[in-house]
Structure 1
Amino acid sequence: MSGSFTVIVAGRDAPLWLAAAALARSLAPSGVKVEAVELPSALTPADVYATFPALEALHNQLRLDEAGLLRATVASLTLGQNFTDLAGAYPPFLHAYGSAGARIGDSDFFAHWVKARRYGLNVPLDDFSLTAAAARQGRLMFPDEENAIYGRCDYGYHLPAIAYARLLREAAIRYGATLHAADQLAVEHDGDTITAIELGEDRHFTADLFVDAGNVLGAATFHSWREYFPVDRVLTAAAPAFANIPVYAENRAGPTGWTALYPSRPATYVTHAWSSVLATDDEALAAASTASGLPLAGVVIRAVEPGCPAQPWTGNTVTLGASFDPVHGLDLLGFQVSLVQLLADFPAGTGFAAERAEYNRVTPEALDRLRDFQSAHYALARYAGPFWEAARATEVSADLAHAIALFRARAELAPFEEENLPPDSWRALLLGHGVEPESWPPATDRVPPEEVKAQFRRMLGFVREQVLRQPTQAEWLARA
């Protein structure tokens, strides 16, 4: 990039510092100057970032050592999320962060499993997954050369939010981002273009590009996702940590909402989500206490308004991420998807109409796919109670309806271009909510049944062997 180019990133907490660190790390060698405007934190000690495995790749780009990350944040690892019905009417299902089975010849394992189940196989899909099987045994699962040949096994983190934001702040400053702290900011416009921001005390800043890492600049018009989601209130709290930290989160469905437990070392972080139409704040607190079975401290209640920027790059301002429903904890993943796309489309100069058009083409589609994953949880859930009755009445996008229909018809997932969740996540969700494939791709029938049975036996033996080699969370953290 010729000449100087200044980017101002405005926001708060982990999103601000994740963006500032990534931009500074990637673009400073090209002469880009990154300035970070930090607004007061919105975090409390009861807040946690429950992350998906994709975040590790961004950490690697930022040269964040995992052992150092875990020490600085006192975080723990997670292999996925377990969804349970407090009424006990429906079996639990695990959304594990790993694949199930290995390819059989030239065809996908899942289609063979679907076919075998039609002919009497009584082995759950999770038994073929390294990650899911380890989670069920209370063990972690780490990728290595041997099991990488078999299939993907990943993990995320339960990151205490304040400590994580502090770590990212240090990284951003280390990579050269300049910090400007402010209690508030005012924006000066010329049409769609931000000409300057005012931070008070006669602090006046201009830039070639503004990056909104928290919907604080107001450049984008937000498109509401309210029709897809029943939740409009969320409670967060901290409870005592478990003596033996579980290796996955748990989401418990109750009649008026759901309660999630995110175990970590400092605390067990509890989230309760509900609709204010169906329960008061006091009733929600009582439901969260009952569902978690834990004493709650530091309770904070917030409103939730899901939506995304209609045009995330407007004028000279890029608004990152979206406001998701909290059920799968996708906020940070959606933010990462937007940030990585910005790095891919970052302009080579001050005339960036083409880059803006491409960003606005790709990013909303990617965010919509994440939205549909969360929406499917409500549209398909069979749980009883007024909350879930309202959930099943929410809208379903045309893409999601097509994806469900295709999966039910022939065990296949629709190949959407801007997909950021692996097929195994979708399979776990759809199967968990009772969407049973009625058939399978015809190519599956080319493999003789005896060969499939032999392959299945080898896979199950390999998974059992690998799981027994893995440590518990406590054992691993003690030496991490």
Structure 2
Amino acid sequence: MPTPIKKVVIAGGGTAGWMTAALLKKVLGSSVSIELVESEQIGIVGVGEATIPPIQTFNRFLGIDEKAFLRETHGTIKLAIKFENWRIPGESYFHTFGAPGTTMGFCSFHHYWLKARAAGLAQSFWDFDLNYLACEQGRFNKINTQNPLYDMPYAYHFDSALYGQFLRRFAEQLGVTRTEGMIEHVQQDNQSGFITGLQFTDGRQINGDLFIDCTGLRGLLIRQALGVDYEDWSHWLPADSAQAVPSERFEQTLPYTRSIAHDCGWQWRIPLTHRNGNGIVYSSRFTADEHATQTLMGNLDSKALDTPRTIRFNTGRTEQQWCKNVVAIGLSSGFLEPLESTSIHLIQSGIIRLMKMFPNHGISPTMVDMYNAESKDEFETIRDFIILHYRVNERDDSDFWRAMREMAIPDRLAQKIEAFKETAAIFNEQNDIFRDASWVQVMMGQGLFPADHHAAVNAMDTSTLLSAMQQIHQAKQQPLSSLLDHDEFIQRYTSA
């Protein structure tokens, strides 16, 4: 007989735990008791400082004031990621949150741009992207218009530890109970294997009906207690190490993340209002820790505030992210390197998926299967998008980059690359968070230019097409004069 869910226990705090606690309490109210267990003796990974635009939806649903959020997390605006040296050293491109151009007909804008380029169009694909134009000028402002031509989607950079603390205060005000304690033993029902309670080192015990595993890479409940296997993707994404170090705030706060490829891997630079976040991701199979440290510390924009902290990981996913009465959220559900800032988004989507399928009157195997199928699909599409960056490279300066270019890749990604190379076609899966414009920007940014475009473009004669392109380009320039220097925007906005 299914047990009605009256109490949810969240094991682990940090960003994952407190995002989960806040949303569950906001949605379920007093109908379900929410208790979060964490220990101040256990550190958090805490390097997820860059996000993608859906974080705005999450914050808005909770009723979080954006100005207060930015102030308390030392947040800044993120319009894009700038990829430097990824195709070849010395070359760069942007993956923005915008969609270059505008709707012109049956097919996507990039098909029209490809025909115009062949006819002599001087502007790059990115010159039709307002996010890119703002990034190049280091500017931002909120544009008060409903015209999709001037849409400028954005996300945030913020201190993830401060975001967790911010959400803790918010969640506790809603009625979430926080319990301090170190989990020593996970109790399970002898017949069903369901988890019934968590026992602390001091003998205290907490019981619940549904358990959320936010214990990070340990996977204390989902993997250690329930024994769910982990699907290893290191044959596609061999990076297994990262080093992170904060540095002093750079003199200009850029409205984008920087991803800088080096011979051993890639380096992130994330601008906050009080410091910069920096790190390097690499594979220990190809690079010694000492070389990675030298590369990181030798390529900082500003003075380091600490010594680098090393993080070990294994790229992949927990095969069942919902097993019995445990749902894994955050790093316990899997790990994908933060190349496209998807870590916090996967927390968010996991919680929202749980809310859609919440087991009010008991856990349904059908809902569990649907949850796991959607989670698997989402993880795999993000995985493929990350592999794309590595596979389509022309670097010849290290064994690492040569190996990434020559490795076998998932069939679905191979088909997607070939379809784009042949006809500029992009086919998206239902749970792919990256839409056409994202795939196009990375493929063309890495040097893939299609041999053909969609036939529908030929319905427009060349002179009409070039004229339309110039009009769109001019229109994209118009809002730039209303934008503020990014630092000035943050200062004005958060002090209002």
TM-score per shorter chain, which class? over 0.9
Larger deviation, residues 318-327 vs 467-476: 318-327
For residues 381-417 of structure 1, the C-alpha deviation after alignment (integer angstroms, 9 at most, x for no partner) is: 2233222123224441111112111111211211311
Paired with 1:86 and 1:210, the residues of 2 have a C-alpha distance of 41
| Distance of 1:379 and 1:468 partners within structure 2 | 39
The normalised TM-score by structure 1 is: 0.94
Give yes or no for the alignment of 1:318 onto 2:319.
no
State which drifts further: 197-206 or 313-322. 197-206
User: Using the alignment, how far apart are the partners of 2:400 and 2:286 within structure 1?
Assistant: 7
Output the CA distance in 2 between the equivalents of 1:357 and 1:80: 35
> CA offset at residue 317 of structure 1?
0.8
Change (3 A) 1:86 1:449: closer
Q: Which amino acid aligns with 2:319?
A: A
CA distance 1:208–1:260, shift in 2 (3 Å): same
Question: For residue 458 of structure 2, what is the amino acid of its counterpart?
Answer: D
Output aligned runs, 1:32-181, within 5 Å.
32-40=32-40, 41-43=42-44, 47-85=47-85, 89=89, 91-146=91-146, 148-150=147-149, 152-181=151-180
Asked if 1:350 is matched to 2:362, the reply is: yes
Equivalent position amino acid for 1:5 in 2: K
**Per-residue deviation at 1:86?**
8.8
The worse-fitting range, judged by mean Cα deviation, of 187-196 and 267-276 is 187-196
**1:36 to partner: Cα distance:** 0.9
Deviations 1:426-469 (A, max 9, x none): 11111111111111121121123233222211111111111221
Aligned-pair CA distance for 1:118: 2.3
Q: Deviations over 1:275-328 (max 9, x none)?
A: 222322222111112233543232201112111111111111111242112322
Q: Identify the residue that residue 17 of structure 2 maps to in structure 1.
A: 16
Displacement of 1:200 after TM fit?
2.9
Q: Which residue of 2 aligns with 1:182?
A: 181
Distance 1:241 1:58 in 2: 28
- Distance in 2, matches of 1:34 and 1:402, equals 45
SS in 2 for 1:467: helix
Q: Percent identity?
A: 23
DSSP 3-state at the match of 1:291: coil
Q: Contact (CA 8 Å) 1:158, 1:264: kept in 2 or not? A: yes
Cα distance, 1:99 vs structure 2 = 0.9
Structure 1 residue runs without a partner (length 5+): none
- Name the structure 2 match of 1:216: 220
Partner of 1:253: 261
The answer as to whether partners of 1:408 and 1:435 remain within 8 angstroms in 2 is yes
127-136 vs 254-263, greater mean Cα deviation: 254-263
Unaligned runs of 5+ in 2: none
Aligned partner of 2:474 in structure 1 is 461
- Offset, 1:170: 1.1
Q: Distance in 2 between matches of 1:80 and 1:311?
A: 32
Question: Does the CA-based 8 Å contact 1:134-1:140 persist in structure 2?
Answer: yes
Q: Decide whether aligned partners of structure 1 residues 385 and 328 sit closer, same or farther in structure 2, where only a CA change above 3 A counts.
A: same
**How many angstroms does 1:57 deviate by?**
0.6
CA RMSD, aligned part only? 2.1
The residue aligned with 2:285 is 277
What is the aligned partner in structure 2 of residue 378 from structure 1? 390
Query: Is 1:471 equivalent to 2:484 in the alignment?
Result: yes
Report the AA paired with residue 481 of structure 2: L
Q: Secondary structure at the match of 1:34?
A: strand
Q: Which residue is equivalent to 1:391?
A: 404
Deviation at 1:202, TM superposition (A): 2.6
Alpha-carbon separation, structure 1, partners of 2:86 and 2:387: 21
1:91-149 Cα offsets, whole Å, 9 max, x none, are: 20011111111111444212101121222223111110111111111112535325x42
SS of 2:69's partner is helix
Residue 199 of structure 1: aligned partner: 200
TM-score by length of 2: 0.91
Report the secondary structure of 2:274's partner residue.
coil
C-alpha spacing 1:71/1:334, structure 2 compared with 1 (3 Å): same
User: Does residue 402 of the first structure (1) align with residue 415 of the second (2)?
Assistant: yes
- The residue number in structure 1 matching 2:379 is 367
* Larger displacement relative to structure 2 (82-91 or 408-417): 82-91
Instruction: Give the direction of change, closer, same or farther, for the CA distance of 1:291–1:388 in structure 2 (3 Å limit).
Output: farther
Indicate the SS of the match to 2:391: helix
Q: Secondary structure at the match of 2:158?
A: strand
Kindly provide the CA deviation profile for residues 67-95 of structure 1, in whole angstroms up to 9, marking residues without a partner as x: 01011111111111111129964520011
Q: 1:95 to 1:436 in 2, by over 3 A?
A: same
How many equivalent residue pairs? 477
CA distance in 2, matches of 1:339, 1:438: 42
User: Are 1:104 and 1:452, in contact at CA under 8 Å, matched by a contact in 2?
Assistant: no
Match of 2:252?
A: 244
Using a 3 Å threshold, how does the CA distance of structure 1 residues 351 and 4 change in structure 2: closer, same or farther? closer
Per-residue CA deviations over 1:152-208 (Å, capped at 9, x if unaligned) read 421121111221110011121122211112233421224541122112323222222
Check whether the contact 1:130–1:141 (CA below 8 A) recurs between aligned residues.
no
Q: Which amino acid aligns with 1:238?
A: P
Following superposition, the deviation at residue 151 of structure 1 comes to 5.5
- From 351, 356, 359, the equivalent of 1:339 is 351
Q: Deviations over 1:17-47 (max 9, x none)?
A: 0011111111125x11111112345248x84
SS of 1:135's equivalent in the other structure is: helix
